[in-house]
Amino acid sequence: MPETQLVWDAESRSVSVGDTIEGIREVSAENVRERIENAIFTFVRENPDTARDEIVSAVHGNGTTKYAVFKRMVESGLLERNGAGVKNSPYRYCVPALPYLTESAAVLAA
């Protein structure tokens, strides 16, 4: 049996088997990634056209996790990259503008 959390119910004065420790760690790690993603998104929205290192250093958390979350956000289109990505012209990031809802898209959404 994998290492598992025991849950105490004070009302019934009983103990039951909870989630596995591995499952708890996975949920915790996902919560951390979500918090970092929200912090990055908020920072970039408030500070458009900012370089990656400035964005990552403005957010609290583990460096490896922050860079991984940042990369995932760029790849998924949550952040838009502009610039040449060279020494005196680094990539700059912003939150992409939302497309206007066209009449036909509004009909489909309804």
pLDDT in tens, the chain (110 residues): 889 888 998 999 999 998 898 998 999 999 999 999 999 999 999 999 999 999 999 999 999 999 999 999 999 999 999 999 888 889 999 998 866 555 555 555 55
**Residue 13: which region, alpha, beta or left (left: phi > 0; alpha: psi -120 to 50)?**
left
Domain that holds residue 48: 31-109
Residue 59 within a domain: yes
Residue 69 within a domain: yes
Q: What is the pLDDT of residue 5?
A: 87
pTM above 0.85, yes or no: no
Q: Which amino acid is at 22?
A: E
Q: What is the pLDDT of residue 87?
A: 86
| CATH number of residue 86's parent domain | 1.10.10.10
Q: What is the pLDDT of residue 2?
A: 86
Q: How many domains in the chain? A: 1
